[in-house]
Structure formats: C-alpha cells, structure tokens
Amino acid sequence: MASWSAENATKAYLQTLKMGKGENEPDAAEFISALAAGNNKKLMVTACAGTAGSIILALVAAAHQTGGRVVCILPGPNELQASQSALGHHARCIEFVVGDAETLLSKDYKSGDFILVDCNINNLKGVLVVAQRAVSHGGALVVGYNARHEGSWLSELKAQFLPIGEGLMVAKTAAGRRIGGGGEKKSHWVVEIDKHTGEEHFFRITSP
C-alpha cells in the first residue's frame, strides 16, 4: 500500500477549493480530493445516480497530483450529455462510461483503488457491496456521498459515517484497515493556517 502523501493531499485540497469556487457545499469535495490524493490513488471510479455533479472535480484534482485516471459511470446517454455540458472543459479529464454501475464495477473496474458512489443511486447497497468485493485488494477505498443518515447497511459494510456536506460514508476493502472501529486506529483532519503568510496546511492525524 502506498504511503500517505501530505503534499498531494494539500495540493488536491487547495485545487478543489479553486475548481469549486462559488459552490454552496464544497467541503465534501475537498475531503474526498485530499483522501484520494493523499493515499496516492491511481484509478478513481465514480458511480453517479444522474448527471455528474461538481463533486467529481475532487477526483480530477486528485488525479492531477497522483497521475491517475478518473472514470465516471452514468446510467444513460442523456446523463452523459448533461454531464459533459455541466462540467465544461473539465470533462476532458474524465473517462465517461454508460451502463449499470453494479455490473461495471464487478467486471471492468476490479483494479479501481478509489470508488466514489452517489448514495442516491438505484440499488445502493448492491452497488456498495459489489464495490467492496470487486476491488478487494489492499488499501482500496469505497466512499459514498449524499449519505444523509446512518443506516443499518453501514455496519454491514463496516463503513464509517462522516457528517461532512450531505454526509459521507468511508470504508476500506477487506484487505485494508477500515476507518474507525474498535481496536483500530482512528484519524481526523486538521487545517493549520500560517499566521504570517495566510497559507493553509492540511494534515491527517492518526491515533490509537
């Protein structure tokens, strides 16, 4: 598993701030970007419920730091056209795929090491279960956004709920250590601002 890169996390975090300027809720995007870039993820796959929103720009920013790819799974051609229009020139940095997310994750993207799922998607639990099983190599991360509340499926997937934005769920695959949980290390995020330069420094701190 690649080591944590604070530099990549910070750069992706700040780039996402710039790319999402004017958005109402950029905090989830910033966290996702730093999480993917800091863990040096190379194949980032997102499964959207409808038109791809600006949160996918978090993965684009992360990919700029890690040299990775961003794949966006959409349910149909109408969503594809709307997504390309909404994302403008950023769409050129994304590989769009139309089809069933559960099927594509189980067959075509087993090598994905960062899976981002819109929790408004049809058959959410099935998609998340397939994502965890399909990419069950060490250190792969599965993240759900628009996870507005904790459900029983969170414990079944050994996922951690985070009250960021509209809610996030984060889980590592079986071969890795999941975030949170009894007897395991926990982590939290700290942003320090240099009093002299005004620069922001983004850190993840892990403790027993």
If you average pLDDT over residues 126-150, what whole number do you get?
A: 77
The CA-atom distances, in angstroms, between 175 and each of 43, 170, 178 are 17, 15, 9
Domain count along the chain: 1
Is position 126 within any domain? yes
- The 3 state secondary structure assigned to 144-198 is EECCCCCCHHHHHCCCEEECCCCCEEEEECCCCCCCCCCCCCEEEEEEEECCCCC
Q: What is the pLDDT of residue 29?
A: 87
What pLDDT is recorded for position 10?
56
Q: Is residue 89 part of a domain?
A: yes
Place of tokens 């194949």: 43
Q: Residue 188: inside a domain, yes or no?
A: no
Q: What is the 3-state secondary structure (H, E, C) of 8-28?
A: HHHHHHHHHHHHCCCCCCCHH
Does some domain include residue 203? no
Q: Is residue 199 part of a domain?
A: no
For 141-200, write each residue's pLDDT tens digit.
899 999 876 566 667 777 888 888 888 888 876 554 333 334 445 555 555 555 566 555
> Is residue 198 in a domain?
no
Residue 54 belongs to what domain range? 6-173
- Domain assignment present for residue 183? The answer is no
